[in-house]
Structure 1
Amino acid sequence: MKLTFWGAAQQVTGSMHLLEVGHYKILIDCGLDYEKDTYQEENQEFPFAPASINLVILTHAHIDHSGNLPTLVRMGFNGQVLCTPPTADLASILLFDSVELFLRKQGRKPRTKRGNFSGPKPLYLHKHVMDTIDRFVTIAFNQPFKINGDISLTFIPVGHLLGAAAAVLIINDNGEEKKIAFSGDIGRENYPVLVKPEAIPEVDFFVCESTYGGRYHTKDQTLEERLVKEIEEACIKSPGRLIIPAFSIGRTQSLVFALNQIFTKKLLPPVQIFVDSPMAIHATDVYRKHHNLVNQEAKDFYKTMGDEFEFEHLAYVQTMKESKDVSNYYDPCIIISSAGMLEGGRIQDHLYYNIQNYYCTILFIGYCAKGTLGYKLLSGAPIVRIKDREMMVYATIRQTDLLSGHGDHDDLVKTVKQTGKPKQVFLVHGEDKSLQLLMAALQEDGFNVVAPERGEVFEI
């Protein structure tokens, strides 16, 4: 049995791991690698023949795990993609949105009479996304699924995002039973809407994410306390606005539920809230569809108070006209918009009109990769480029990790310990510092740990 690491190796994005059992090839995740300068061109250069892959296992819907599936299909993959039902629904939304982003970068109108476009050629089009969705086969949590006579798969809930799973494989390798698990992205306990991560069973080999290795989430303040403080300072004490960049899928739903609880308890006077993201509207419908998979707190709230994602003074913004109307709304308000790292999406319009507003606070609630506009603002850049214009930063920039969807260092160590004493732990999906700090902690506890390089092969 052979394991090759083709993505998220000593970096965060682009998860893609190849497991070969004899001649049978399984790809675990197929995400977009955003850490390449020309990522659209480079993401279509697979280090293997896509047609040679027999099966894909998708741990969850986020684009750094799912976003290159249509490219794989376009280039010859013709097998099934196994995932949970919510992952299939959410990935469909995200993949169609990726096409729109590609087209916007390319430019919809030809720049020459011959029909040439100014930007990079799209990685894939709507047709390829539809072909990919046709390959989705959904499997419920904790239900063993027989892939073939030698391999079975079980999805274990790990929080992080609705439908997110660790993939546990039991394999008959020439008469020897071997167990290997891929963590996907590990969530947290007590996170709004999402279930806490379940223990991953004991395995022989474990591939574990390390995003928050060496880092710890805030523990001396609750999410409710922090949100109340930020809203009070930005919208109550002064006639300002609070802009919260949030990924449309996952982060927005958890944030809306947290705000619902705050205003239901009357911890603050009413403040108008806008969710400016059509994708968030579609994603929220997916959360309603799979309501049986949300956590008990959300289920109990629904029974007593109704829909977690609807309340007074909350408005979902659909059209561009409505979005522009939000920009012209001058009373204190909260604007939740995507994308979370500020790379594209309607959030850029809100930044354009507010980055030089002294009465505006921008609250980051998630990770921002190096090179993104969000990263530059969090790094204290005094001037940033928004929509081809250099702009001074006068708005207040804040950040909290209380809505981070990733487990921290202690959560990751706990997850690894639950797997028993694997012969080998492989750390992926992390920046170098996080990888090294998590590796050192695990080695101190007696684990055999390695952080594979891209393309590194292991006989297991």
Structure 2
Amino acid sequence: MKLTIWGAAKQVTGSMHLLQSEDYNILIDCGLDYEKDTYQEENQYFPFEPSTIDVVILTHAHVDHSGNLPTLVRMGFAGQILCTPPTADLTELLLMDSVNIFLSKQNRRSKGKRAGSGPKPLYLHKHVMDTVERFVTISFDKEFSLNPNVSLKFIPVGHLLGAAAVVLTLLDKGQEKKIAFTGDIGRKNYPVLVDPQALPPVDYLVSESTYGGRVHSKDTTLEQKLVDTINETCVKFPGRLIIPAFSIGRTQAVVYSLNKIFSEGLLPPVKIFVDSPLASFATDVYRKYHHLLNEESQDFYRRKGDEFEFEELSYVQDKRESISISNYHEPCIIISSAGMLEGGRIQDHLYYNIQNYYCTILFIGYCAKGTLGNRLLRGDPIVRLRHRDLMVFATIKQTDLLSGHGDHDDLLANVTQQDPGTLKKVFLVHGEAKSQESLARAINEAGYEVSIPEKGEVFDL
């Protein structure tokens, strides 16, 4: 049995791992690597022949895990894509959105040049639909046989609706071996989502390491942080709070948290705009799979109704309505995508508010190096928007209380719950080098063998 790490090696994006056993090739995740400006060009080729892949297992919907599936299909993959039911629905939304982003970049970069001369899209809507047709959904904690020698089970890990670790049991040359891929591990007590479930005993573990070496803030609660920020920005002063948030996952967590705050009367009413059509569609998926949300969320629903709908809240539908928000002069909260500010309607709101002293921009998630969000967080005094250099007068804040990833302690606990006599090796992926090194030291000190793979590195298991 061979494991090859083809993505998210010593970086966060582009998760893709190839497991080969007795002429059966399993690809775990097929995400976009978007840590370079040329990511569309970088993602159009695979280091293997797509037609040789027998099956793809998708841990969750985020595009750094799912976003290159249509390219794989377009280039010859003809097998099934296995995932949980919510992951199938959310992935379809995100892949369709990716096509729209590709097309908008093509049009934007070809302005003043020959039509369509911008970067060619990785895939089109047709390829997304071809991909969706290959989805086969499997419920959590259900043993599923891929062939007589391979079976899998999806274990809930929080992080995002439908997100799962996959545990594979393989009969390799007459010997049974178990290997788990964590995907992305969530954190306990996260809004709406269930807590990560412990993994069963395995022989090998491929673990994410995003927050290696970092521990989440524990000096305040998420609700208190939001109350304090809203009070300072929108109550004491007639300002506006802009929250860049990914449409799927973070937006639903923020909306639910705000619903609790205002329904409990912790603040006077403040108008809230959710400016993302994708967020509206995703919220419908959360409603569809309401039975998979955590017990607190379900109890809130029984007592007070829909977690994602309340009086102060408006979902913005069309572009004209989005533009009109700039003419809303009362204090307000704007939740818009994308979370790293690299596209979407959030850029319009930044353009009109980045020089507003009464505006606060609250980051609630990770911003990769090179992104506009990262530049604001590092304190750049001038940023470029719509081909203009703008001074940054808005207040920039950040909180990790809505991070969907478990921290160093959570990641370490996920390893140390395994029997060191059984677990032969831990492979760390999906993290920056510094984070991986910190987590690797802690895992090693706990008595486990650990490796930080290079991209393309092959391991005999």
TM-score range, shorter chain: over 0.9
Q: Secondary structure at the match of 1:208?
A: strand
Letter in 1 for 2:295: Q
Q: Are the aligned partners of 2:110 and 2:118 in contact in 1 as well (CA < 8 Å)?
A: no
Aligned partners of 2:449 and 2:109: how far apart in 1? 54
How far apart in 1 are the matches of 2:185 and 2:389? 38
TM superposition score normalised by structure 1: 0.99
Other-structure match for 2:425: 424
**Runs of 4 or more consecutive aligned structure 1 residues displaced over 4 Å after TM superposition:** 108-113
The residue that corresponds to 1:257 in the other structure is 256
Q: Which runs of 5+ in 2 are unaligned?
A: none
Q: What secondary structure is seen at the aligned counterpart in 2 of 1:334?
A: strand
Moved more, 393-402 or 101-110: 101-110
Instruction: Give the drift of 1:42.
Output: 1.3
The equivalent residue for 2:180 is 181
Aligned equivalents of 1:420 and 1:81: distance in 2?
Answer: 31
Over 3 Å counting, the alpha-carbon distance change for 1:400 and 1:110 in structure 2 is closer
Separation in 2, partners of 1:445, 1:109:
51
1:457 alignment partner in structure 2 = 458
Q: TM-score, normalised by structure 2?
A: 0.98
Q: After superposition, give the CA deviation of every residue in 1:49-83 in whole Å (9 maximum; x if it has no partner).
A: 00110000000000000000000000000000000
1: distance between equivalents of 2:333 and 2:438? 37
Contact 2:10 2:429 in 1 (8 A): yes
**Pair 1:319–1:116, CA change in 2 (3 A):** closer
Per-residue deviation at 1:196?
Answer: 0.3
Asked if the contact 2:416–2:446 (Cα under 8 Å) also holds between the matched residues in 1, the reply is no
- Paired position in structure 2 for 1:389: 388
1:277 aligns to what?
A: 276
Map residues 360-371 of structure 1 onto 2, 5 A cutoff.
360-371=359-370
Instruction: Give aligned pairs, total.
Output: 459
3-state SS of 2:400 partner: coil
| Aligned mates of 1:341, 1:21 — CA distance in 2 | 38
Q: 5+ unaligned residues in a row in structure 1: which ranges?
A: none
8 A contact 2:108–2:118 mirrored in 1:
no
User: Where does residue 88 of structure 1 map in the other structure?
Assistant: 88
Within 2, Cα distance between the matches of 1:293 and 1:419? 26
Q: Secondary structure at the match of 1:147?
A: strand
Q: Does 1:72 align with 2:72?
A: yes
Report the Cα distance in structure 2 between the residues aligned to 1:111 and 1:328, rounded to whole angstroms: 29
Structure 1 stretch 302-311 or stretch 30-39: which is displaced more? 30-39
Secondary structure (helix, strand or coil) at the match of 2:13 reads: coil
In structure 2, the residue matched to 1:448 is 449
CA contact (8 A) 1:108 1:117 kept: no
2:21 maps to amino acid: V
Q: Give the superposition deviation at 1:108.
A: 7.6
Find out whether 1:102 has 2:110 as its counterpart: no
Match of 2:287 in 1: 288
Specify the alignment match of 2:156 in structure 1.
157
State the secondary structure of the residue aligned to 2:334.
strand
- Asked if structure 1 preserves the Cα contact closer than 8 Å seen for 2:252 and 2:308, the reply is yes
Q: Contact 1:201 / 1:418 at 8 angstroms: preserved in 2? A: no
Give SS of 1:427's match.
strand
Describe the superposition over 1:307-344 as per-residue Cα deviations: whole angstroms up to 9, x where unpaired.
00000110000100110111111100000000000010
- The percentage of aligned residue pairs carrying the same residue is 70
Verify the 8 A CA contact 2:274 2:334 in the aligned structure 1: yes
Partner of 2:20: 20
When the two chains are superposed, the root-mean-square deviation of aligned CA atoms in Å is 1.1
Supply the distance in 2 between the matched residues of 1:391 and 1:234 (Cα, whole angstroms): 21
Q: 1:349-383: per-residue Cα shift (whole Å, max 9, x none)?
A: 00000000000000000000000000000000000
